[in-house]
Amino acid sequence: MTWNSKLFAVLLGLTAASLTCGAYAQQDKPIHMIVGFPAGGPTDNVARPLAQQMSKELNRTVVIEYKAGANGNIAASYVARAPADGSVLFFSSVGAIAISGALYRDLPYNPTKAFAPISLLVSNSSILMVNAANPARDAAEFIRNAQMASRPSPIASTGVGSIPHMALALFQDSTKANVVHVPYKGAAPAVVDIMGGHVDALFADAPAVMAQVNAKKLKALGVAGPTRLPLFPDTPTLAEQGIKGVESNNWYALLAPAGTPQKVVDAINAAARKALATPSVKDTLIGLGTVPIGSTPEDLAAVITADTAKWSAIVKANNMVGE
């Protein structure tokens, strides 16, 4: 093949890709972004500004649709059966993609085969939260107080196999702290019971507790992540406090049904990353306590593979079974 013919082939490929992406963006049919949790919750608060900006980037309406229940599995099952044409997208937290496969025996979809990764969206490192009146000033002191208590310290989670439960399992393994797991059905009732003194602590995503932190009803003792968080600059990581191996990230990501054409995936990826970089969206997400990131589809696939292995081992070691 001559140099001119090679150049022609490259240009032809680029033109075809542009036409495909352009055709996807210019369709009148709305894009349905499926969220696996109720409206008004942490996932919705991130999904909403993202969807609004992606509508502008794609020049095509992005509609949020809620299919709540079973830790995101109902939404995942719906998307897994949807047309692979970019008209239905899955706004997922880590659970339905990297935990449910090990946690549930009869899952109606295959997390590793049912989806085409598009982009990571935000990072949500877990934070050990306690009632503002709790005497502990950091996680290390919380552990010392728990060890001296006459009973195990009750620690809430948002459900068996949830990221808060996973963080607690890592925490128990690392510290051998005198604590006991108390599962709840979602963050809201767990937070209410922390403020009411019925449980002592909760590993939580920042978006789920920011209102209570701002109202000085809860306080943060340690971040279960590699770095401190922008809205909690004075809260050290658990590793900084000598508590090693306790890192959990309830990331949110965007996926499509498996078989979605790569050119369509790339077009959505570009729109999502542009939306995340838009100052108004970025500021909104940071204000919620999340860390906007964005990624290539390949990077998201690598994160899913790594987290599936990590959390599957924790599920097995702790004999967790989905409710």
Statement to judge: residues 206 and 99 lie in one domain: no
Statement to judge: residues 87 and 58 lie in one domain: yes
Q: Which domain holds residue 219?
A: 126-241
| Residue 314 and residue 166 in contact, taking contact as beta carbons nearer than 8 Å | yes
pLDDT score recorded for residue 310: 97
In a domain, 260, yes or no: yes
| Residue 209 and residue 129 in contact, taking contact as beta carbons nearer than 8 Å | yes
In a domain, 246, yes or no: no
Write out the two tokens for 173: 């393994």
Statement to judge: residues 119 and 7 lie in one domain: yes
What's the total number of domains in the chain? 2
Statement to judge: residues 134 and 48 lie in one domain: no
pLDDT score recorded for residue 183: 95
| Residue 206 and residue 127 in contact, taking contact as beta carbons nearer than 8 Å | yes
Statement to judge: residues 162 and 119 lie in one domain: no
Which residue among 241, 270, 288 closes a domain? 241
User: Listing from the earlier edge strand, what are the strands of the sheet with 115-123?
Assistant: 62-66, 31-35, 88-93, 252-257, 115-123, 291-292
Statement to judge: residues 159 and 178 lie in one domain: yes
74: CATH: 3.40.190.150
Instruction: Kindly state the helix (H) or strand (E) to which residue 127 belongs, with its residue range.
Output: strand 126-131
| Residue 217 and residue 195 in contact, taking contact as beta carbons nearer than 8 Å | yes
For tokens 């989670």, name the residue: 157
Statement to judge: residues 222 and 288 lie in one domain: no
pLDDT score recorded for residue 6: 44
| Residue 54 C-alpha from the chain's centroid | 19
Residue 219 sits at φ, ψ, to 5 deg, of -135, 150
In a domain, 322, yes or no: no
Statement to judge: residues 282 and 196 lie in one domain: no
Inter-CA distances, 221 with 44, 109, 174, 214, 287, Å: 26, 38, 16, 15, 20
pLDDT score recorded for residue 24: 57
| Residue 127 and residue 163 in contact, taking contact as beta carbons nearer than 8 Å | no
Write out the two tokens for 54: 């992606």
Which residue among 194, 219, 241 closes a domain? 241
In a domain, 15, yes or no: yes
Show pLDDT as tens, one digit a residue, over the chain (323 residues): 444 444 444 444 444 444 445 555 556 789 999 999 989 888 999 999 999 999 999 999 999 999 998 889 999 999 999 999 999 999 999 999 999 999 998 899 999 999 999 999 999 999 999 999 999 999 999 999 999 999 999 999 999 999 999 999 999 999 999 999 999 988 889 999 999 999 999 999 988 898 899 899 999 999 999 999 988 999 999 999 999 999 999 999 999 999 999 999 999 999 999 999 999 999 999 999 999 999 999 999 999 999 999 999 999 999 999 87
pLDDT score recorded for residue 323: 77
In 40-125 the beta strands, taken as DSSP E runs, fall at 62-66, 88-93, 115-123
| Residue 245 and residue 232 in contact, taking contact as beta carbons nearer than 8 Å | no
